[in-house]
A and B are shown apart, each in its own frame.
Chain A
């Protein structure tokens, strides 16, 4: 990651990038179409309503499904004509021509670890891990400092929530210690 150019030359990245974005746009379009079809099928599969109007549980999924299918076709037409979405610029300081897959995967991994470990290892451990991994993915290089902040933050949150606010968080292996 450290060797990654942070500000790529627009001209050299352009051609490669546009192909990548077009592929991504097509993937999004197909994904939306699939969601529309699933929703429509779900609506068609609902039992007939016995309500006064005959409009029942299946109505809304059918409407939304057809709507999504129509909109994804319209999006497909736009993509085919070369119209791209404008990536969110409100956050500033981002360059979407370049996707850094490793940090992205590390952040997703942090959530997966949280899911897998929160009941057994307990909130404090998985939360600290999530902090440390995310900080690392976003470019923190002082690992000990990150770790210290991670542990302190997680313990403080745990104590505030369980003691002061009366909301239970899984204690896990630290049961009895905290």
Chain B
């Protein structure tokens, strides 16, 4: 099935009154949860997974499409109005977006982000539709060793390029691999790292792991280290023009350039959305006639990275849907969502579950349109949500973390696992270990082990089989280049972009005193 046929097929699945309603609910709930500070897209999907347990798979994935893009959009709102990005992809948006909000141009910043997300999301989703069938043709010719090579790439790029320290990223990934080992061996049924616990035989539930690391870890981190129990929310002035003609003129090129950076870097596993957003920001500053405005509220600094972030998110769906390889925490959560329905993404997915996959892709387009229609007029409502007092917000996150964990299997043992990994998540935040590599390691680790042992079994134990095909050699060489390139790219300016933006902050801090 070509891209066009697939899209039309998908639209026929998605455009029914019932499924449109699911898409609408998904975008609203996704934005609602995503707009909450500290909750990124991965956690939003993990927390909302229980909601879909009672649904048909097709409807559930249509809802996921809405949740995914809604959460992406919500993240940029908190980045702009609160300077609390909640996920690495919005960190760059927070620099100039928050400056614009401080100068009373919050509405323009939000509109730039919304329209940029729409433009990038639409183009990237169309590219996804045309790229996926082509990718499948390549994928079906790959052997176990080729898959293993791709997974090694995903492991190393995600862990070495995310966060501030490659070593800490690798440690985080190795912890994830360790978690992935727990349970019965898939081949021999031998118990591994189960410590005689019957409840651990099935391994550690990935939904529980995600909720623990992201949600509970976050609650504990904020409880232990918050400076103030209030948020410092920027106001959006009523009645202001969203974007002036000048703004449009300055923003449209960055939108398109951001898209063209974000999508390819999502397709090849290049370590999440941190690098594309950073690249887009650097590029816009270089191309701008007013580079001095960057860091002081330049609209290009919001438009480019926001587009790159959204295009990147759509790009990561290509390896996920066609190869079954998640290259970001969010993609890993979507993989888990597939697994909950007994579906393993891979080259056969587009054939065996074509209604589901194309429905999902078509729903991404629909969700984009809904979001644009929803967000420009309703921004005042989302801002009100940010006014929920911080203690209630985090208490709410706690309740939903407990609920999400308990509802998976109705077992209080899982809640104990939640607590254990929640403490791990707290320690990781506290000591600067990025969380995403651990999630990717835990979910991708077992899949990689299957491919590795399959490849070795076929070759009778000859380890040389891992580099025996041209594909594997190309992949490993590319990996070396990407790692080296990523390392060089982040060299000049990798220290705490947000803190740096703070330092040259000439606007006095008007934060209200704490009410404690």
Contacts and interface: CB of A to CB of B under 8 A. Distances in A.
A108 interface: yes
A149 B407 CA distance: 21
B270 interface: no
A7 to B, nearest CB: 6
B390 interface: yes
Q: Is the interface of B mostly helix, strand, loop or mixed?
A: helix
A67 B441 CA distance: 13
Interface stretch (B340-348, B370-378, B453-461): B453-461
A135 B181 CA distance: 36
B190 A99 contact: no
A28 B84 CA distance: 27
B188 A49 contact: yes
A110 B400 CA distance: 13
A13 interface: no
Contacts of A52: 457-458, 460-461
B216 interface: yes
B391 A138 contact: yes
Interface residues of A, number: 91
B190 A100 contact: no
Interface string B477-516: 0000000000000000001101100000000000000111
Given A60-B449, A107-B223, A115-B415, A132 B395 contact: yes
B416 to A, nearest CB: 6
Interface in A13-34: 24-25, 28, 32
B178 A138 contact: no
A39 to B, nearest CB: 5
B54 interface: yes
A159 interface: no
Nearest to A51: B457
B185 A56 contact: yes
A62 B456 CA distance: 16
B53 A165 contact: yes
Contacts of A103: 223-224
A60 B181 contact: yes
A125 interface: no
B206 interface: no
A57 B84 contact: no
B251 interface: no
Nearest to A1: B516
19 contacts: A1-B516, A35-B175, A42-B193, A51-B457, A53-B460, A56-B187, A57-B187, A61-B193, A95-B225, A114-B406, A127-B402, A130-B402, A134-B394, A135-B392, A138-B222, A138-B391, A150-B395, A167-B54, A170-B410
Name the 10 nearest CB pairs between A and B, nearest first. A85-B432, A139-B229, A140-B391, A57-B185, A53-B461, A138-B391, A135-B395, A53-B456, A134-B395, A57-B190
